[in-house]
Amino acid sequence: MEKIGNKNRVSQEVNVPIPCPTILLLLVIGLIPLYARDIEITVEDADLALPLEGARIRSWDGQEYTCDAEGKVRIWVPDDRQVVIQATYPGYENGRLLIPIRESSFTLLLRLSGILENQELVIEAPRPGVSETRSGRSVAISDRELSRTAEIGIIEDVMTSIKLLPGVGYAGMFNAMPSIRGGTPGDLIAVLDGFYIEQPYHWGGGVSIFDPRMVQSAQLSHGVFSSRYGHTISGLLEVTSKKPSSTETELELGLSSSAANLNLSVPLWGKGGVLVMGKLTYWDPFVWAVKPFVEEVRYITTAPYIRSGAVSANYRFTQDMEWTLNGFIGGDGMSAYYENESEAEGLVSKNDMRFSWDNKLGFLITGITLNPLPSMVLKATAGGGFHSADLDAEIQQEVRVPYSDTFKEEFKEFIKEAPYYTLSPAMGDRMTELTINYQGRVDMDLELPKGFLLAAGVQELYSQWIEEEQAHLWRESLDTDKTHDRDTSWYTHYPVTFSNDVGNSGFFSSLYSLVEYTSPERRFGAELGLRLDHLYFVGRDFSIQTAPALNPRLNLDFGILKNRGFLDSLSLTVGTGLFSSMNTNLIYLDKDSGIDDFAMKQSRSWTSIVGTKLDFSPGYSVNIEAYIKRVFDRSYLSLVTRGNTLVSDYQFDGEGRIWGFDLMLQKLEARYWDGWISYSFNHARYRNPSRSDPDEPDWFYPSFHRFHNLNIVLNIKPVQYFQIGIRFGVASGAPKNVVGEVTSYPVSVLNADGTELVIEKWKRSSRYSDTERDGFALPLDIKFSFFRFNPGGKVQSEMYVAVENTLAFLKTRQSNTTFNSYTGQEDEGSTTASYQLPIPMISVGFKWTY
State residue 445's pLDDT score.
93
73 to 4, 53, 147, 315: CA distances (angstroms): 19, 10, 21, 32
Parallel, antiparallel, or unpaired for β 491-518 and 743-750? parallel
Mean pLDDT is highest, among 406-420, 634-648, 735-749, for: 735-749
pLDDT at 122: 40
Side-chain half-sphere of 628: how many Cα atoms within 13 Å?
Answer: 1
Q: Is the pLDDT of residue 724 over 80?
A: yes
Q: Which percentage of the chain shows pLDDT scores above 70?
A: 86
Tell me if 797 sits within 8 A of 848, measured CB to CB: yes
**pLDDT of residue 477 exceeding 90:** no
> Quick check: 483 pLDDT over 70?
no
The answer to whether residue 763 scores a pLDDT higher than 70 is yes
pLDDT of res. 753: 66
Q: Are 634 and 603 in contact (CB under 8 A)?
A: yes
User: What does the pLDDT average to over 579-607?
Assistant: 88
Residue type for position 164: L
The closest of 620, 627, 612, 608 to 557, measured between CA atoms, is 612
Confidence grade of residue 664 (pLDDT, cut at 50, 70, 90)? very high
- According to the model, what pLDDT value does residue 363 have? 95
Q: Which range among 384-388, 485-489, 618-622 shows the weakest confidence by mean pLDDT?
A: 485-489
- Predicted pLDDT of residue 847: 72
Name the least confident of 19-28, 287-296, 345-354, 828-837.
19-28
Q: Enumerate residues 6+ apart whose C-beta is below 8 A from 433.
A: 387, 388, 389, 465, 466, 467, 468, 469, 502
Average pLDDT of span 772-798: 80
pLDDT digits (tens, 9 = 90+) for 328-362: 999 999 888 888 787 776 778 888 889 898 999 99
Report pLDDT for 524: 93
Q: What is the pLDDT of residue 125?
A: 39
Q: Which residue has the higher pLDDT, 734 or 150?
A: 734
Residue 789 has pLDDT above 90, yes or no: no
**C-beta separation of 350 from 397 below 8 A:** yes
Is the distance from CB of 63 to CB of 86 less than 8 angstroms?
no
How many angstroms separate the CA atoms of 574 and 628, rounded? 12
pLDDT at 6: 34
Mean pLDDT for all residues in the chain: 82
pLDDT in the model for residue 551: 97
pLDDT of 201 reads 92
The reported pLDDT for the residue numbered 626 is: 97
| pLDDT at residue 232 tops 70 | yes
Give 252-276 pLDDT, tens digit per residue.
887 777 888 888 989 998 889 999 9
Burial (Cβ within 10 Å: 0-12, 13-18, ≥19) of residue 98: exposed
| Better-predicted residue by pLDDT, 556 or 817 | 556
Residue 850 has pLDDT above 70, yes or no: no
Q: What is the band of 833 on the pLDDT scale with cuts at 50, 70, 90?
A: very low
pLDDT of residue 401: 86
Closest CA to 616 of 566, 669, 564, 673: 566
Q: Which residues in 319-346 belong to E strands, given as ranges?
A: 321-344
In terms of Cβ atoms closer than 10 Å to its own Cβ (0-12, 13-18, 19+), residue 272 is buried
Are the C-beta atoms of 554 and 528 separated by less than 8 Å?
Answer: yes
- How far is 373 from 446, CA to CA, in rounded Å? 9
pLDDT confidence of 555, banded at 50, 70, 90?
very high
Lowest mean pLDDT among 167-171, 291-295, 362-366: 291-295
How far is Cα 91 from Cα 469, in angstroms, rounded to an integer? 56
- Segment 18-36, tens digit of pLDDT: 334 333 333 333 433 344 6
> For residue 545, is pLDDT > 90?
yes
Q: Can you tell me the distance from the alpha carbon of 520 to that of 500, in angstroms, rounded to the nearest whole number?
A: 59
Q: Quick one: pLDDT at residue 36? A: 60
- Split at pLDDT 50, 70, 90, the class of 531 is very high
Q: What percent of the chain has pLDDT over 90?
A: 36
The count of other CB atoms within 10 Å of the CB of residue 48 is 9
